[in-house]
Amino acid sequence: MVQSIGGIVKYSATDLDQLAQELNKDGICVIRGVFEQKFIDEWAQAFEKLFHERQNQPGGLAPREISPLLSDIALDLPIC
C-alpha cells in the first residue's frame, strides 16, 4: 500500500518492482492513482493559465520553437 493524496492506493510487489525498474532505467516513473483526478485537473488549469500569461510576455518562454532541430543541423554538415 502507498499513502496518496485522498487515500490509500494498493500496489502489488510486482507493481512496485516494475516502478523501480522504470525508475532505474529511465530516471522517472509514473505512479498512477497517487493524486485524485480533481487535483490533476486543477493543476492543469493553473499551469495552462500561467503558460498563456508567460507566452504573451516577450522572452516569457524558453525559445525552444526557435532552436533548429538536430536533424536540420545534421543536414547542413558535409558528409565525409
pLDDT tens, residue by residue, 63-80: 665 545 555 555 555 554
Q: How confident is the model at residue 61 (pLDDT cuts 50, 70, 90)?
A: confident
Closest CA to 15 of 4, 3, 31: 31
Quick check: 36 and 9 in contact, CB under 8 A?
Answer: no
Q: Which residues pair with 9 in a beta bridge?
A: 2
Overall average pLDDT of the 14-32 stretch: 91
Q: How confident is the model at residue 5 (pLDDT cuts 50, 70, 90)?
A: low
Mean model confidence pLDDT for the chain: 77
Q: How confident is the model at residue 3 (pLDDT cuts 50, 70, 90)?
A: low
Neighbours of 48 (CB within 10 A): 10
**Could you give the percent of the chain with pLDDT greater than 70?**
66
Q: What is the pLDDT of residue 64?
A: 61
Q: What is the pLDDT of residue 46?
A: 93
Phi and psi dihedrals of 20, rounded to 5? -65, -40
CA distances from 79 to 29, 30, 41, 68, 72 (A): 39, 41, 49, 19, 14
